[in-house]
Amino acid sequence: MTAEIIDGKKIAEKIINDLKSKVKNLKEKPGLALVLVGNNPASEIYVNFKEKDSKEVGLYCERFNLDKDINEMDLLKLVNDLNQKTNIHGILVQLPLPKQIDANLIIDSILPHKDVDGFTPLNLGNLVSENTILAPATARAVLYLIESTGMEIKGKNAVVVGRSNTVGKPTAMMLLEKNATVTICHSKTKNLAEHTKKADILVVACGKPRLVTKDMVKQGSVVIDVGINREGGKLIGDVDFESVKEVAGYITPVPGGVGPMTRAMLLQNTLKAMELAKR
Ligand code: GUN
- The per-residue pLDDT for range 106-142, each reduced to its tens digit, is 999 999 999 999 999 999 999 999 888 999 999 999 9
Q: What tens digit of pLDDT does each residue of 18-28 get?
A: 999 999 999 99
Determine the average pLDDT of the residues in 48-63: 98
User: Any catalytic annotation for residue 7?
Assistant: no
Residue 119 lies in a domain: no
Residue 122 lies in a domain: no
Is-contact 146 201, C-beta < 8 A? yes
Same-domain check for residues 140 and 208? yes
Q: Whose CA is nearest to atom 1 of ligand 1?
A: 95
Same-domain check for residues 143 and 230? yes
Catalytic residue among 53, 114, 115, 117: 117
pLDDT at position 67 is 98
Same-domain check for residues 148 and 244? yes
Whether residue 154 is predicted with pLDDT greater than 90 in this model: the reply is yes
Task: Using pLDDT thresholds of 50, 70 and 90, give the confidence band for residue 87.
Answer: very high
Same-domain check for residues 222 and 143? yes
Same-domain check for residues 166 and 237? yes
Same-domain check for residues 55 and 100? yes
User: Any catalytic annotation for residue 94?
Assistant: yes
Residue 130 lies in a domain: no
Ligand 1 pocket residues where CB is under 6 Å: 92-95, 117, 137-138, 166
Q: The domain that contains 37 carries what CATH number? A: 3.40.50.10860
Range of the domain at 180: 136-259
Same-domain check for residues 65 and 151? no
The 3-state DSSP composition of the chain as helix, strand, coil percent (nearest 5) reads: 45, 20, 40
Same-domain check for residues 160 and 249? yes
For residue 64, which of 53, 56, 50, 123 has the smallest C-alpha distance?
50
Catalytic residue among 53, 94, 240, 245: 94
Residues 6+ apart with CB under 8 A from 181: 155, 156, 157, 158
Residue 19 lies in a domain: no
User: Any catalytic annotation for residue 50?
Assistant: yes
Residues 6+ apart with CB under 8 A from 129: none
**Which helix (DSSP H) or strand (DSSP E) does residue 46 occupy?**
helix 41-57
pLDDT at position 263 is 98
Domain count along the chain: 2
Q: What tens digit of pLDDT does each residue of 241-279 get?
A: 999 999 999 999 999 999 999 999 999 999 999 999 987
Same-domain check for residues 196 and 148? yes
For residue 263, which of 5, 6, 8, 7 has the smallest C-alpha distance?
8
Same-domain check for residues 97 and 182? no
Residue 8 lies in a domain: no
What's the pTM value of the predicted model, to 2 decimals?
0.97
Same-domain check for residues 106 and 162? no
Mean pLDDT (the chain, rounded): 97
Residue 168 lies in a domain: yes
69-106 exposure pattern, b = at least 16 Cβ within 10 A, e = fewer: ebeeeebbebbeebeeeeebbbbbbbbebeeebeeeeb
Whether residue 1 is predicted with pLDDT greater than 80 in this model: the reply is no
